[in-house]
């Protein structure tokens, strides 16, 4: 009888070793891929955290430019500091009351006239204060009146520009108007204007006249941009 016990030949040993090697290599690759996935996920999470922190830092940055510290009034309807003056044109809106809703100029005495309530003092008040006064007066005639006041034209606030510009004079002041804007509104410089010597005169709250220099030549080169300040009512720009 033949011996039924078989023993692996050298060739069988080689095949087994090769197979085991391939299995180990496959497992090693799978482990590496899994580790790579975990590592990438961790990087994405860290990136998201950094992005959130970066956004929070940008949003909460308390450093502000002079213009940001003193923002323009923008819409006169919501401007808490804008005071209505003579010659301003107001849009008065009363909800569901078309007979009262209208556009009306402020008279030279500072008042406006509306149906039912007659004369109302407008000059020297903010739009919100005028809304409250009109609503209080209308309560005798209308249940829960809803009033809105919008300054359509700010004709009472003006600035002056004198000297070597093409159209010197007085002009309506709109929110955010700067020295450069004023020069453009006045038609620009004349040929012999001293652009380096422009200055602005402003009377402060104490009644003292202040002077602000503006060098146009440096400004257009990107220098001294802070000199291009926003105008206030009754400012006077002089172009020598």
Mean predicted lDDT score pLDDT of the chain: 78
User: Is residue 109 located within the same domain as residue 131?
Assistant: yes
In this structure, is residue 72 part of a structural domain?
Answer: no
- Predicted local confidence at residue 119, as pLDDT: 97
User: Is residue 226 located within the same domain as residue 195?
Assistant: yes
- Predicted local confidence at residue 179, as pLDDT: 97
- Predicted local confidence at residue 33, as pLDDT: 58
Q: What is the pLDDT of residues 177-229, one digit of tens each?
A: 999 999 999 999 999 999 999 999 999 888 899 999 999 999 999 998 999 99
At residue 157, what are phi and psi to the nearest 5 degrees?
-100, 120
Distance CA(195)–CA(216), nearest Å, equals 5
Work out whether the CA dihedral 215, 218, 219, 223 comes out positive or negative.
negative
User: Which domain does 166 fall in, by range?
Assistant: 158-239
In this structure, is residue 173 part of a structural domain?
Answer: yes
Q: Strands, DSSP E only, in the chain? A: 89-94, 102-105, 111-114, 118-121, 147-153, 158-163, 169-172, 198-203, 209-214, 236-239
- pLDDT: is 154 or 76 the higher one? 154
- Predicted local confidence at residue 100, as pLDDT: 94
pTM of the shown model: 0.50
- pLDDT: is 122 or 155 the higher one? 122
Single out the residue in 114, 131, 153 at which a domain terminates: 153
As to burial, measured by CB atoms within 10 angstroms (0-12 exposed, 13-18 middle, 19+ buried), residue 53 is exposed
Looking at mean pLDDT, say which of 11-15, 52-56, 57-61, 83-87 comes out highest.
83-87
User: Is residue 93 located within the same domain as residue 162?
Assistant: no
Give yes or no for residue 52 having a pLDDT over 50: no
Give yes or no for residue 61 having a pLDDT over 50: no
User: Is residue 130 located within the same domain as residue 168?
Assistant: no
Token output for 71: 């923002």
- Predicted local confidence at residue 83, as pLDDT: 86
In this structure, is residue 83 part of a structural domain?
Answer: no
Cβ within 8 Å of residue 198, ≥6 positions away: 179, 183, 213, 214, 215, 216, 237, 238, 239, 240
């Amino acid at each position: 009888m033949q011996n039924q016990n078989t023993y692996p030949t050298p060739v069988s040993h080689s095949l087994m070793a090769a197979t085991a090697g391939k299995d180990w290599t496959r497992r090693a690759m799978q482990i590496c891929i899994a580790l790579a996935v975990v590592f990438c996920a961790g990087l994405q999470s860290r990136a998201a955290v950094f992005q959130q922190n970066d956004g929070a830092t940008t949003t909460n940055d308390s450093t502000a430019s002079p213009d940001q510290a003193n923002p323009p009034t923008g819409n006169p309807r919501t401007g808490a500091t804008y005071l209505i003056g003579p010659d301003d044109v107001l849009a008065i809106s009363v909800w569901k009351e078309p007979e009262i809703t209208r556009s009306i100029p402020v008279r030279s005495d500072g008042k406006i006239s509306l149906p039912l309530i007659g004369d109302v003092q407008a000059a020297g008040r903010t739009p919100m204060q005028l809304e409250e006064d009109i609503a209080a007066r209308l309560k005798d005639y209308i249940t829960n009146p809803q009033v809105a006041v919008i300054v359509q034209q700010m004709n009472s606030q003006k600035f002056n520009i004198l000297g070597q510009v093409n159209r010197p004079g007085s002009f309506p002041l709109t929110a955010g108007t700067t020295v450069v804007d004023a020069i453009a509104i006045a038609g620009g410089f004349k040929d012999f204007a001293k652009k380096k010597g422009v200055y602005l005169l402003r009377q402060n709250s104490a009644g003292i006249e202040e002077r602000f220099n503006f060098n146009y030549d440096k400004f257009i080169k990107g220098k001294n941009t802070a000199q291009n300040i926003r105008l206030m009512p009754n400012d006077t720009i002089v172009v020598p």
